């Protein structure tokens, strides 16, 4: 078991607030969680912004791709999504705005570099520049489904902590994989993950943070297996459960 298992708010407190907005990040902080997971992409004019989908249609009132709009244009885009009737207009945050906010608290941030559907040439460099400028390096884990993209962040900050992000089913022998290629963390989808894989990661010095944990059976198993962190849409529920253990 791991009594210090970390609770990360997936896209902020996305179970109850509009995902990847400053409102969701602030509410995550207030939930008492340990960290926040978020997604970064680049605008047409090369600004790092926080949004999950490459296209805007499903999460906002704009259509088309994030990369086809300047930051100025995106500032009138409402990321309130399904919550907009409750919480009103919610802007797409820049990563700079987030870093400034994060420098005033002690949360860990898991930054997912969105570079597997569309590859942004300068996303890693610009993300790392902001992390450096705000002095957040010690509280960041970089992850990506594009493993080369995540590892390439070490070109800008050699000791940056990185996670191999994978879907349900994971990678067999992930502990060896992560150690061999220089990841400090393994970030698998919960389905198919086994106690043995977690143990192999730990034997190889690899931290295991699992997504997306929205039911109590999964939470209990991962706790018993000694996982290092869980990424959840409901950080308040997970944190209360863990405190009661
Ligand atoms: O980092 C875990 C999780 O966020 C990856 O999937 O699609 O929610 O970005 P997704
Ligand atoms: Ca993500």
Give pLDDT tens digits for 55-90.
999 999 999 999 999 999 999 999 999 999 999 999
What percentage of the chain exceeds 70 in pLDDT? 100
ipTM higher than threshold 0.90:
yes
Separation between Cα atoms, residue 163 and residue 151, nearest integer Å: 9
52: Cβ below 6 Å to ligand 1?
A: yes
- On average, the pLDDT of the chain sits at 97
**Token output for 154:** 């070490």
User: What pLDDT score does 2 carry?
Assistant: 86
Question: What does the buried/exposed string (b/e) look like for 71-98 if buried means 16 or more CB atoms within 10 Å of the residue's CB?
Answer: beebeebbbbbebeeeeeebbbbbbbeb
Q: How far is the CA of 16 from the centre of ligand 1 (A)?
A: 17
User: What pLDDT score does 199 carry?
Assistant: 98
User: How confident is the model over 149-167, as pLDDT tens digits?
Assistant: 999 999 999 999 999 999 9
User: How confident is the model over 2-14, as pLDDT tens digits?
Assistant: 889 999 999 999 9
Q: How far is the CA of 232 from the centre of ligand 1 (A)?
A: 10
Query: What amino acid positions are annotated as catalytic residues?
Result: 10, 52
Nearest CA, atom 4, ligand 1: 10
The mean pLDDT value for 143-152 works out to 98
| 158 Cβ contact list (under 8 Å, min separation 6) | none
From the CA of 114, give the closest atom in ligand 1: 9
User: What pLDDT score does 242 carry?
Assistant: 96
Quick check: pTM over 0.90?
yes
Q: Which ligand is nearest to the CA of 164?
A: 1
User: What pLDDT score does 208 carry?
Assistant: 98
Name the residue of 12, 36, 143, 211 whose CB sits within 8 Å of the most ligand 1 atoms, as the mutation to test its pocket. 211
pLDDT confidence tier of residue 218, bands split at 50, 70 and 90? very high
126: Cβ below 6 Å to ligand 1?
A: no
Residue 21 pLDDT exceeds 90: yes
| 156 Cβ contact list (under 8 Å, min separation 6) | 124, 125, 128, 129, 132
**Token output for 50:** 């926080």
User: What pLDDT score does 3 carry?
Assistant: 86
pLDDT confidence tier of residue 102, bands split at 50, 70 and 90? very high
């Amino acid at each position: 078991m791991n009594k210090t298992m970390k609770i990360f708010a997936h896209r902020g407190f996305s179970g109850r607030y509009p995902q990847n907005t400053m409102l969701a990040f602030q509410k995550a902080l207030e939930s008492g969680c340990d960290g926040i997971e978020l997604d970064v992409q680049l605008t047409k004019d090369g600004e790092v912004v926080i949004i999950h989908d490459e296209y805007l249609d499903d999460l906002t009132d704009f259509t088309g791709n994030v990369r086809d709009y300047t930051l100025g244009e995106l500032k009138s885009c409402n990321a309130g999504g399904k919550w907009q009737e409750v919480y009103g207009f919610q802007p797409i945050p820049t990563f700079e705005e987030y870093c400034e906010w994060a420098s005033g608290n002690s949360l860990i941030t898991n930054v997912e570099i969105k570079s597997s559907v569309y590859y942004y040439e300068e996303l890693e460099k610009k993300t790392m520049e902001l992390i450096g400028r705000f002095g957040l390096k010690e509280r960041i884990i970089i992850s990506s489904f594009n493993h080369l993209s995540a590892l390439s962040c070490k070109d800008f900050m050699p000791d940056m902590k990185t996670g191999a992000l994978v879907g349900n089913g994971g990678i067999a022998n992930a502990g060896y994989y992560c150690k061999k290629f220089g990841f400090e963390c393994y970030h698998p989808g919960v389905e198919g993950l086994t106690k043995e894989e977690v143990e192999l990661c730990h034997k190889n010095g690899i931290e295991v943070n699992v997504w997306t944990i929205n039911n109590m059976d999964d939470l209990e198993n991962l706790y018993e297996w000694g996982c290092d962190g869980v990424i959840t849409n409901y950080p308040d529920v997970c944190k209360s459960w863990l405190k009661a253990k």
